[in-house]
Chains A and B, each alone.
Chain A
């Protein structure tokens, strides 16, 4: 039995090409079973995400399997596609499961997507002893790489960095109250990220009240008139500010006025506006943690750098693990 991986991803193919070969998740099992009917293929798993489409197949002849796949894919099957065989294919699957081949290095979503692709192929009866063992081992290796290295440590986006900091200040974000000042795109993403991690109440204020209402609806929050946001400040834990105002919108006296009512609880201020919305002097207030766009972007950049420095170590770990396993088909 020989193992073959035939695929394309965000590095080898542009989106307009990737979308032609994408397989919807509900058809992954069916497609894998279909591949199993081709000459030279006995087992198959189809992985398809927005960044990749990959066919993992095992059969008596990798050459025959490759020919069969190309015929099935038709025009364009030579361009942008990569063909990996035996051990190379196994290493690649482990790297994908570990997030090493993802657009956002170390991201976790791909692990679940591969698991789901395998489950669907298995349920469709398209897998056998070679791919069953390969995928089970790849999940084990993927988990090991993720837990024993820093490949998924640190947030790699501004919104992610802000959420990580909020969790460092407040712990679980359940029950956290947030106010968004200015309905910009980055503030929307940051607020969404906070809500996805449990923030319970979101207030949105904007000079144009209609935009505040629209964003509040999107976030499941409440719109506040722009001249009333100061009253809300006493009850929130996080402030995200991104207006296009040419001057400081949040000034020390705004926070000083509500400190007593807040009983001096920690307050996290995220300033993602340029020019800055929050007077840097606000950060000198004891219980205030103030972060601007540059600091958050730098944190995200550093996290990406740290992850990149992990790649070689992760690949060595994958090689070591596969060495021990002696998988069939490799």
Chain B
């Protein structure tokens, strides 16, 4: 234990030299996401697939990794202190799932829809006051606490991507219903059934990770001030469980599933306000 703390202090000291660069990396990542999104949208508007979106998103992902590793070293823990770090971790998790889920499935367009959300989360994190300029090491971390934070945010990443897929479905559904079939966007959108299958898988993945996060949250040492956060996280977990249960046993129209997925995700973000 002594050795670990000693190393941590030394590495934390080294990492501190890099604090300041982290913000630039975050700006770089945000710019890559914006460029990826904009070039992707322009390509789609012209009726072509954007091959570059995945490249820009990969660059954004690398810059996110740089940011998170500097903050993680400085914190000597998972960098999930305050809304700013949580939003960046969430954006990283969303990008990670996009890069993992993307290839077998129309990567460029999923990227075009994911990039604005990543850019939005990171732009909010960049607002002055959202990120501590001098992150201190986190004292008293426990395995349960780290598991709670990391699994919950990873779960949110999967749920965020599910919300992105849901938006794509809603757009496609509207175009199909309205017989507006000539746009570049329509031609590039994946088939409705594939979107629904991906949406369902991402919901199960996100909910499973959230389950681990919620259990770990109750197992970690926590005071009364953490209760509202844990209760709201549990409420979100129950909400998704009910949604998946209905989907599994009763079935839902694609439109309702997509609307509920987006609605739940937006509502569930309120959990972070209670961190």
Cβ contacts under 8 Å, B179 to chain A: 291, 295
Q: For A264, list chain B residues within 8 Å (CB).
A: 251-254, 256
Instruction: Judge if A20 is at the interface, Cβ distance under 8 Å.
Output: no
Q: Is A287 an interface residue (CB 8 A)?
A: yes
A137 CB within 8 Å of chain B: no
Number of interface residues of A (CB under 8 A): 22
A189-204 contacts to B, CB under 8 A, are none
Q: Are B176 and A263 in contact (CB under 8 A)?
A: no
Task: Find the A residue at minimum CB distance from B249.
Answer: A263
A267 nearest CB across to chain B (Å)? 10
CA distance A167 to B181 in the complex (A): 13
Minimal beta-carbon separation of B82 from chain A (angstroms): 42
Which of B23-31, B61-69, B189-197, B209-217 touches A? B189-197
B255→A286 contact, CB < 8 A: yes
Measured between beta carbons, the chain B residues less than 8 angstroms from A165 are 176, 181
Within 8 A of B (CB), among A217-266: 260, 262-266
User: What B residues does A167 contact at CB under 8 A?
Assistant: 191
Across-interface contacts of B251 in A (CB, < 8 A): 260, 262-265
Name the B residues within 8 Å of A299 (CB-CB). 181
* A150 CA to B196 CA, complexed, in Å: 29
Quick one: CB contact mask for B156-190 with A, threshold 8 Å, 1 for yes?
00000000000000001000110101100011011
The answer on a CB contact under 8 Å between A169 and B47 is: no
Question: In angstroms, how far is the closest chain A Cβ from the Cβ of B133?
Answer: 49
Flag whether B250 is at the interface (Cβ < 8 A).
yes
Q: How far is the CB of B233 from chain A (nearest CB, A)?
A: 30
Pair A171/B191 contact, Cβ less than 8 Å: yes
A302 interfacial contact with B, CB 8 Å: yes
Query: How far, in angstroms, from A168 to B179 measured CA to CA in the complex?
Result: 12
Beyond A167-B191, A170-B193, A171-B193, whether A289 also contacts B177 by CB under 8 A is yes
Smallest Cβ-Cβ distance to B175: which chain A residue: A168
CA distance A289 to B172 in the complex (A): 11
Using a CB-CB cutoff of 8 Å, which residues 158-209 of chain A contact chain B?
165, 167-171
Report whether B181 and A287 are in contact in the complex, using a CB–CB cutoff of 8 Å. no
> What chain A residues lie within 8 Å of B47 (beta carbons)?
150
CB pair A170 B250 closer than 8 Å: no
B176–A286 CB distance below 8 A: no
Contacts of B176 in A (CB 8 A): 165, 168-169, 289
Contact A286 B192 (CB under 8 A): no
Contacts of A291 in B (CB 8 A): 179
Q: Please, which residues of chain A bring their CB within 8 A of the CB of B252?
A: 264
Contact for A266 among B182, B193, B256, CB less than 8 A: B193
The complex places the Cα of A148 from the Cα of B172 at a distance, in Å, of: 25
Cα–Cα distance between A167 and B196 once the two chains are bound (Å)? 14
Given the complex of chains A and B, what is the CA–CA distance between A260 and B250 in angstroms? 7
Are B192 and A266 in contact, CB atoms less than 8 angstroms apart? yes
Chain A residues whose C-beta falls within 8 Å of the C-beta of B254 in the assembled complex: 264, 266, 286-287
A238 → chain B closest CB, angstroms: 12
Task: Name the B residues within 8 Å of A289 (CB-CB).
Answer: 176-177
| A-chain residues with CB within 8 Å of residue B194 when the two chains form the complex | 171
In the complex, which residues 14-40 of chain B have their Cβ closer than 8 Å to any Cβ of chain A? none
Q: Please, how many angstroms separate the alpha-carbon atoms of A291 and B178 in the complex?
A: 10
Nearest-neighbor residue (CB-CB) of B193 within chain A: A170
Cβ proximity bits B82-124 to A, threshold 8 Å, 1 near / 0 not: 0000000000000000000000000000000000000000000
- Shortest Cβ-Cβ A-B pairs, 3 listed: A263-B251, A171-B191, A286-B253
14 A–B contacts, CB within 8 A, in A order: A165-B176, A168-B181, A168-B186, A169-B193, A170-B191, A262-B251, A264-B252, A264-B256, A266-B193, A266-B254, A286-B253, A286-B255, A289-B177, A299-B181
